[in-house]
Chain A
């Protein structure tokens, strides 16, 4: 009899589904409703700096996803051992290590990308999204949830910078991923239809304008108002 009750006690706590509703929200919330760039207005610096072209932006997005997810996982695993008085420094050390790893790997396997992104990869350290997620989520939640949360936030960051980069490269350089779209257009419709590129889009001002438009569209749809 006693053996039975013990078994029941274990069964009583069913594990949460791998992608339960709550966990799905961890990923989907930062995409629109709680987007790190457009709602929380974090990580603007890199959103302006690297988004002149799609290719470096994609590499930057992947790097940020890697850093945020890994940092969230590490901090979450250590959350019960980290002394609270030095937790910010511990977070910083973990993030800095991850960022250095990314930068070293790029330098070995994608040197051209490394040259182009150089200081911006290093500046992921100062990207508030990373430290923000560590402090707000990973320190108080289990590893798997922290991974999902980090992935969601980084994805929310990524799609915004990729969208900004798409328009900046298209209007500023007339291409997408280095493919000269404008040249094809004038090739199909003849030279009368040649499109001019806009130099404003290449400068950081262009990123501000696109970002502003995205925020405008998004807030019109979601009805979000700043408190």
Chain B
């Protein structure tokens, strides 16, 4: 049966409108829940730098939120380590800063959120500072959070995620086994220069006596290089803030 053009166009228009309404309706209804899920996921990633993934998995969403509220405070700094309270008349908060969007701007114009992990039951005492990271892997974006101990030198933990690295190769940066390799490493060398921590080519060697190197991922050297660049870049961007905390710490010790 051959239908007229008018019928085909009418049919298409009705179909498009019905399906369009259905989709926009769903998006309206589910939108708030999706944003909540995304915020929760971000909190889990931040916490992942300081506590183990198993502990986070064992927590219910409410517990994660409560833990986050109790133990994490945040601030936003610029490239010079100065605190930023507002930008263009709008108040900024670390939770709403989009690292990926900021990544597109020149480094000296970006906002740099810092998450501060406090000791249990003491909202003044700091346990570690958590810095967001962002960079490029082999195929797509990679990002993560790095926790520094209060000496502003020792890595307390790192969590990494990716958009499209190869499963079993580059995607291994999400595995606890790979991330644990960073714990206890140092980002400043003996003469006080920022050298960060770099992942080496090849896998299976022991780097426990070198505080700036970690074992690589076999078959994923480019992703590893991406991780290295990401760490080098972002620790560089946060250097002013890190130095200032280090300075105040040294000062406090001197008094």
Please name the residue on chain B nearest to A52 by beta carbon.
B167
Indicate if the CB atoms of B37 and A81 lie closer than 8 Å: no
State A109–B34 Cα separation when bound (angstroms). Answer: 8
CB <8 Å contact, B30 and A105: yes
Query: How far does the Cβ of B223 sit from chain A's closest Cβ, in whole Å?
Result: 15
Asked whether any CB of chain A lies closer than 8 Å to the CB of B183, the reply is no
State whether the Cβ of A100 lies closer than 8 Å to any Cβ in chain B.
Answer: yes
Q: Which of A93, A104, A109 contacts B19 (CB 8 A)?
A: A93
Interface centre among A108, A115, A203, by most chain B C-beta atoms within 10 angstroms, is A108
**Docked-complex contact A101 and B1, CB < 8 angstroms:** no
> Is A107 a contact of B30 with CB atoms below 8 Å?
yes
Contacts of B3 in A (CB 8 A): 83-85
Partner of B37, one of A52, A101, A111: A111
What's the nearest-Cβ distance from chain A to residue B244, in Å? 35
- In the complex, are the beta carbons of B23 and A83 less than 8 A apart? no
Smallest Cβ-Cβ distance to B20: which chain A residue: A97
- Docked complex Cα distance between A114 and B2 (Å): 42
Docked CA distance A104–B8 (Å): 30
A42 within 8 A of B: no
Q: Quick check: B19 and A94 within 8 Å, CB to CB?
A: yes
Of B10-18, B76-84, B95-103, the one contacting chain A is B10-18
B27 contacts A by Cβ under 8 Å: yes
Q: Are A86 and B167 in contact (CB under 8 A)?
A: no
* B26: chain A residues within 8 A (beta carbon): 101, 104-105
Interface centre among A85, A90, A104, A202 (most CB of B within 10 A): A104
Q: How many residues of B contact A (CB 8 A)?
A: 23
How many Å from the CB of B1 to the closest CB on chain A?
7
Closest A residue, CB atoms, query B168: A202
- Residues in chain A near residue B11, CB distance under 8 A: 81-83, 86, 90
A43-79 to B contact mask, C-beta < 8 Å, 1/0? 0000000001000000000000000000000000000
How near does chain B come to A46, taking the closest CB pair, in angstroms? 14
Residue A180 at the B interface, CB < 8 A?
Answer: no
Contact (Cβ within 8 A) B168 A109? no
Q: Which of B5-58 contact A (CB under 8 A)?
A: 7-8, 11-12, 15-16, 19, 22-23, 26-27, 30, 33-34, 37-38, 40-41
Is A90 in contact with B41, judged by CB distance below 8 angstroms? no
B34 touches A203 (CB 8 A): no
Residue pair B40, A111 in contact (C-beta under 8 Å) = yes
Contact of A108 among B16, B22, B37, B167 (CB under 8 A): B37
Q: Are B12 and A104 in contact (CB under 8 A)?
A: no
Give the interface residue-count category, chain A: 20 to 34
Query: How far is it, in angstroms, between the C-alpha of A63 and the C-alpha of B243 when the chains are bound?
Result: 51
**B16 & A93 in contact (Cβ 8 Å cutoff):** yes
Q: Which residues of the other chain, A, contact B168 by a CB distance below 8 angstroms?
A: 52, 199, 202-203
Contact A97/B37 with A52-B167, A85-B8 known, Cβ cut-off 8 Å: no
Whole-angstrom distance between the alpha carbons of A52 and B11 in the complex?
42
- Contact A86 B12, beta carbon cutoff 8 Å: yes
CB neighbours (8 Å) of B33 from chain A are 108-109
The complex places the Cα of A109 from the Cα of B41 at a distance, in Å, of: 12
Inter-subunit contact B15/A93 (CB<8 Å): yes
Question: In the assembled complex, which residues on chain B have CB atoms less than 8 Å from the CB atom of A105?
Answer: 26, 30
CA–CA, A161 to B41, complex, Å? 28
A43 to B19 CA separation, bound complex (whole angstroms): 25
**Chain B 130-173 interface mask (CB, 8 Å, partner A; 1/0):** 00000000000000000000000000000000000001100000
Q: Given the interface contacts A111-B40, A202-B168, does A83 sit within 8 Å of B8 by beta carbon?
A: yes
A residues near B (Cβ < 8 Å) are 52, 81-86, 89-90, 93-94, 97, 100-101, 104-105, 107-109, 111-112, 114-115, 199, 202-203
**7 tightest A-B CB contacts, nearest first:** A111-B37, A108-B33, A108-B30, A202-B168, A83-B8, A83-B3, A97-B19
Q: List 18 A-B contacts (CB under 8 A).
A: A81-B11, A84-B3, A85-B2, A85-B3, A86-B11, A90-B12, A93-B15, A94-B19, A97-B22, A101-B23, A104-B26, A104-B27, A107-B30, A107-B34, A108-B30, A111-B38, A111-B40, A112-B41
Q: Known A-B contacts: A97-B22, A101-B23. Give 9 more (CB < 8 A).
A: A52-B167, A83-B3, A89-B12, A90-B15, A94-B19, A108-B30, A108-B34, A108-B37, A114-B37
